[in-house]
Structure 1
């Protein structure tokens, strides 16, 4: 079970805890799944992100260009000032 599946189960059990007879049990189960989802996300954030997009039927966005370095920013600012 991946992080996204744990997250969905946590949502499901949290909703059931609101209206269930044994709401404390459902809330505990929801909390366990939420903790496992967090652990999965922390352990492998890239796979979690890919699974999250796949679970929503979307594709990963393309990587953006890296930020410019401090030296490049300083050089550009100096040229703008002159």
Structure 2
């Protein structure tokens, strides 16, 4: 299983995630602003969106919303790869 090791949230509702294999992935998360429900609605606010962290190799928010590393790879843009 591929694991995330770090994440940074940006003001444009993108996240940059570093994976354990050295890849850096950027994912546009603006789609969450159109989703509804108690897990995702707090993330419509930038202050809440920026509370993202990595837990057990998965990008997670305090609300319980998470993004699987495989989704990051499939849907994000690779920024860099370590040699």
Is the structural similarity TM-score above 0.5? no
- Report which structure shows greater RCO (CA 8 Å, sep ≥6): 2
Q: Bin the TM-score by the shorter chain.
A: under 0.3
Q: Which has the higher strand share?
A: 2
Q: Give the alignment's TM-score, normalised by structure 1.
A: 0.24
Q: Give the alignment's TM-score, normalised by structure 2.
A: 0.23
